[in-house]
Amino acid sequence: MTAPHTSLSVTTEVDQLLHRLGVPRAAHTGGDLAVRSPITGEVIAQVPTTSSSEASQVIGRAHAAFPAWRDLPAPRRGELVRLLGEELRAAKADLGRLVTLEAGKVPSEGAGEVQEMIDICDFAVGLSRQLYGLTLATERAEHRMMESWHPLGVCGVISAFNFPVAVWSWNAALALVCGDPVVWKPSEKTPLTALATHAIAQRALARFGADAPDGLLGLLLGRREVGEVLVDDPRVPVLSATGSTAMGRHVGPKLAARFARAILELGGNNAAIVAPSADLDLALRGIAFAAMGTAGQRCTTLRRLFVHDSIYDRLVPRLAKVYASVKVGDPRESGTLVGPLIDRAAFDGMQRALDESRAAGAIVHGGERVEGIGTPQACYARPALVELAAHDGPVLRETFAPILYVMRYTSLDEAIGWHNAVGAGLSSSIFTLDMREAERFLSSAGSDCGIANVNIGPSGAEIGGAFGGEKETGGGREAGSDSWKAYMRRATNTINYSTRLPLAQGVTFDI
Ligand code: NAD
């Protein structure tokens, strides 16, 4: 094992951070779930997992908390989220560092993830005074028709390793102001950041006082079996599940079978089009961050690039140079832009996709293992740029690693056709200075994704917008805009303040 790039070993630093963040030692030692840092591959904790019966009890406590939480006025519920935001501000440096150590993100992305949690708390506090219903025109005289929004019940949250804490906050901040208790099953690869977040939330609850019922926020740790308890429990009327499309294929039908509401945030296979008029310097920077940032392990990572034939030879060789020179390595070291893959399976999946591409005649730049960091369990790879002649083969599926497939196009119709010809529909971009092309891409005849951008890459969304995608991405929306409606139930109310009883559609029923 090579020397770590800090005076502390990862394990020692993790222990210190967990202690400072308020996680008891028993919660991360002596348990059955080994947690590895992708930075060195070493085991940094042994977390005790939640049994099915314990999970059921946690859900039961959240269910019991629902009536008291539901009955508090929404602005008062917002006060808890305000305190959560304050606690997160105070813990930002430590929690961000823990994200780096447990998930392998470079420090600015670790801190950025916690900033995203703070941002959604601020958003949700404002929202707690804006859970508006409409007043609707009624066809009957002296009647009033309106919509009311009511809390739904326990909100389950299942999250993926690559946004180990932000995804919980997108759901929890909204669910809490909407009046729903929250039970969270984080990724088995990142339970430590979940434990720390839970401890931070406990501090907010303690400051909030007795109005917060016992069991309002629950945490279940373990693999998919623990998540399945949440999926199957009829006391959970809404479940937000973030992860692979394969996971969604299991979870979605089960929720549908019991008529629970599903917020599915699944895989992406995001693309960008670089048109002849594009500002190539700007496009280069946008592509580089979107394709290589977070070592290609964002759901919104840029994976497919369609470059107009007339500019291909000006852009792609420059991109290949950036790919060859970007610093890959220990994210704790300054200047590193690409950290480790989460585990060996991710590295093997990347190599399989590259082998398949080579067999199909592609030119592959990069993609090789970067040796010499940590134990053999730590997997670092130089990002791969893959020049393909056809939109076919591995390019059609999401490989959760830094691979960018590049293809030439000659007409915008052709590029949009390829763009939409994959299962996923999460995020998309066009780089162009031509207003007609930009508007066409954003129109109903353009990108079929939940997110469509102009002159920025597909990754790095702000919390103010609704986040999510179509088709195999699952159709769910989280975070901003009116995503809150998924955490509430809508009642249409009609009030008759006349002395008559006119029926709708002019129906008569005289008795
Ligand atoms: P994963 O599907 O392996 O696991 C995600 C979570 O689901 C984990 O907590 C896991 O334990 C749980 N899980 C898996 N199968 C389950 C089942 N049958 N029942 C209940 N729970 C189950 O995903 P991952 O490897 O952690 O994350 C990477 C994937 O997540 C990528 O496909 C990425 O695109 C996607 N992702 C999507 C978004 C989004 O917002 N659309 C955000 C982040 C990640």
| Closest Cα to atom 16 of ligand 1 | 224
Question: For a substitution probing ligand 1, which of 299, 303, 348, 463 has the most ligand atoms within 8 Å of its CB?
Answer: 299
pLDDT one-digit tens code per residue, 62-82: 999 999 999 999 999 999 999
Question: How far out from the chain centre does Cα 483 lie?
Answer: 14
Read off the pLDDT of each residue in 392-411 and give the average, rounded to a whole number: 98
Of the CA atoms within 13 Å of residue 197, those in its CB half-sphere come to 30
With tokens 């009311």, the residue in question is 148
pTM attached to this predicted model: 0.97
pLDDT one-digit tens code per residue, 261-306: 999 999 999 999 999 999 999 999 999 999 999 999 999 999 999 9
| Closest Cα to atom 17 of ligand 1 | 224
Please determine, for residue 6, whether its predicted confidence score (pLDDT) is greater than 80.
Answer: no
Whole-number Å distance, alpha carbon 214 to ligand 1 midpoint, is 29
Question: For a substitution probing ligand 1, which of 162, 171, 240 has the most ligand atoms within 8 Å of its CB?
Answer: 162
pLDDT one-digit tens code per residue, 189-213: 999 999 999 999 999 999 999 999 9
What does 442-483 look like in DSSP terms, one character per residue?
Answer: HSTTS--SSEEEESS-S----TTSEE--EETT-S--EESTTG
- How sure is the predictor about 8, in pLDDT bands with cuts at 50, 70 and 90? confident
Whole-number Å distance, alpha carbon 362 to ligand 1 midpoint, is 30
What does 225-250 look like in DSSP terms, one character per residue?
Answer: HHHHHHHH-TT--EEEEES-HHHHHH
What is the structure's pLDDT at 365?
Answer: 98
| Closest Cα to atom 35 of ligand 1 | 243
What is the structure's pLDDT at 374?
Answer: 84
Give me the interface pTM, i.e. the ipTM: 0.99
| Closest Cα to atom 13 of ligand 1 | 224
What is the structure's pLDDT at 7?
Answer: 60
Of all atoms in ligand 1, which is nearest to the CA of residue 158? 9
Whole-number Å distance, alpha carbon 159 to ligand 1 midpoint, is 6
Question: For a substitution probing ligand 1, which of 244, 467, 473 has the most ligand atoms within 8 Å of its CB?
Answer: 244
Whole-number Å distance, alpha carbon 312 to ligand 1 midpoint, is 35
Q: Which percentage of the chain shows pLDDT scores above 90?
A: 97
Q: What's the rounded Cα separation, in Å, for the pair 390 and 356?
A: 13
Instruction: Report the run of H or E that residue 41 belongs to, with start and end.
Output: none
Residues designated catalytic: 265
Of all atoms in ligand 1, which is nearest to the CA of residue 160? 26
Of all atoms in ligand 1, which is nearest to the CA of residue 400? 31
Q: What's the rounded Cα separation, in Å, for the pair 450 and 426?
A: 5
Which pair of tokens denotes residue 198?
């839970």
With tokens 């089960």, the residue in question is 254
Whole-number Å distance, alpha carbon 275 to ligand 1 midpoint, is 33
Read off the pLDDT of each residue in 99-107 and give the average, rounded to a whole number: 98
Of all atoms in ligand 1, which is nearest to the CA of residue 241? 7
Whole-number Å distance, alpha carbon 249 to ligand 1 midpoint, is 11
pLDDT one-digit tens code per residue, 348-400: 999 999 999 999 999 999 999 999 888 899 999 999 999 999 999 999 999 99
What is the structure's pLDDT at 460?
Answer: 87
What is the structure's pLDDT at 373?
Answer: 86
The answer to whether residues 289 and 500 touch, using CB atoms and an 8 Å cutoff, is: no
Task: Name all residues whose Cβ lies below 6 A of ligand 1.
Answer: 158-163, 185, 187-188, 223-224, 227-228, 231, 242-244, 247, 250-251, 265-268, 299, 398, 400, 426, 473
- How sure is the predictor about 128, in pLDDT bands with cuts at 50, 70 and 90? very high
What is the structure's pLDDT at 2?
Answer: 40
Of all atoms in ligand 1, which is nearest to the CA of residue 223? 11
